[in-house]
């Protein structure tokens, strides 16, 4: 049987880095964060679950938080557009994925004092999650409003903490192992979004 593989060690991309995240220190301004907070007030909370939406299950020992879904409508479109532009810059700089779609809504999340967390996981999976290639999370809370609640990535033999700056947008490949450590004081507020397209090929 003839192989379709190309055995050519001379050809590879030196401008691709799958071992790091990309971030914007001032992804959203203080004024924009106030506007986002006001917009989320009208949305309905639900308990965060594990797995694809049609078969998701509640597991508080693994993921404990409450979420809201931000609609893809005219009121929210400026937020989606800002995230889109930041994701494109990050992807063009770091990973060069073939990004084609933004099929899911922004997920607004609150992690509460007393164990609010999300243990080690990847964002890609089955169902609609199999199209995820890039994830972005935005820090909505000020760092002094909560303790614990660090976004951490498992890279190589150890793990690193992402920036906690209010308004920062942290962007990373959806296959990165990451977690939010337990919140021990206050409330951590953030939102996340995923973009992608057809399966990797």
Helix (H) or strand (E) holding 40: helix 30-40
Q: How far apart are the first and last CA of the chain?
A: 21
Res 3: pLDDT: 64
* Rounded Cα gap, residues 142 and 164, in angstroms: 8
Q: What is the per-residue pLDDT across 82-120, written as a single tens digit (0 to 9) for each?
A: 999 999 999 999 999 999 999 999 999 999 999 899 999
Burial of 94 (0-12, 13-18, 19+ CB in 10 A): buried
- The pTM (predicted TM-score) of the whole model is 0.89
> What's the structural domain count of the chain?
1
Q: Is residue 9 part of a domain?
A: no
Percent of the chain with pLDDT over 90: 73
Q: Is residue 117 part of a domain?
A: yes
Q: Is residue 12 part of a domain?
A: no
Phi/psi for 135 (5° steps) reads: -115, 150
Q: Is residue 14 part of a domain?
A: no
Res 19: pLDDT: 87
Res 131: pLDDT: 92
Statement: residue 22 has pLDDT above 80:
yes
Burial of 122 (0-12, 13-18, 19+ CB in 10 A): middle
Q: Are 101 and 131 in contact (CB under 8 A)?
A: yes
Is 48 or 182 the better-scoring residue by pLDDT?
182
Q: What is the per-residue pLDDT across 138-161, written as a single tens digit (0 to 9) for each?
A: 999 999 999 999 999 998 778 899
Q: Is residue 139 part of a domain?
A: yes
Q: Is residue 3 part of a domain?
A: no
Q: Residues near 193 by Cβ (< 8 Å), separated by ≥ 6? A: 80, 83, 102, 104, 105, 106, 107, 135, 136
Q: Is residue 201 part of a domain?
A: no
Statement: residue 58 has pLDDT above 60:
no
Question: Which residues span the domain enclosing 101?
Answer: 22-49+59-196
* Rounded Cα gap, residues 160 and 163, in angstroms: 10
Helix (H, G, I), strand (E, B) or coil at 145: helix
Q: Which CATH number fits the domain that encloses residue 76?
A: 2.60.120.620
Statement: residue 63 has pLDDT above 70:
yes
Q: Is residue 102 part of a domain?
A: yes
């Amino acid at each position: 049987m003839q192989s379709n593989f190309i055995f050519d060690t001379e050809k590879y991309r030196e401008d691709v880095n799958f071992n790091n995240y990309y971030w914007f220190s001032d992804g959203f301004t203080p004024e924009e964060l106030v506007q986002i907070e006001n917009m989320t007030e009208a949305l309905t909370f639900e308990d965060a679950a594990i797995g694809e939406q049609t078969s998701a299950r509640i597991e508080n020992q693994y993921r404990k938080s409450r979420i809201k879904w931000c609609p893809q409508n005219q009121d929210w479109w400026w937020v989606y557009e800002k995230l889109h532009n930041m994701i494109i810059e990050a992807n063009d700089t770091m990973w060069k994925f073939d990004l084609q779609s933004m099929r899911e809504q922004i997920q607004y999340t609150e992690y509460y004092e007393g164990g609010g967390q999300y243990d080690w996981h990847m964002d890609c999976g089955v169902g609609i999650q199999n199209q995820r290639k890039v994830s972005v999370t935005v820090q909505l809370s000020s760092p002094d409003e909560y303790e614990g609640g660090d976004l951490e990535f498992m890279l190589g033999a150890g793990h690193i903490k992402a920036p906690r700056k209010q308004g920062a947008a942290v962007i990373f490949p959806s296959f990165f192992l990451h977690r939010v450590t337990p919140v021990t004081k206050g409330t951590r507020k953030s939102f996340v979004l995923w973009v992608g397209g057809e399966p990797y090929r």
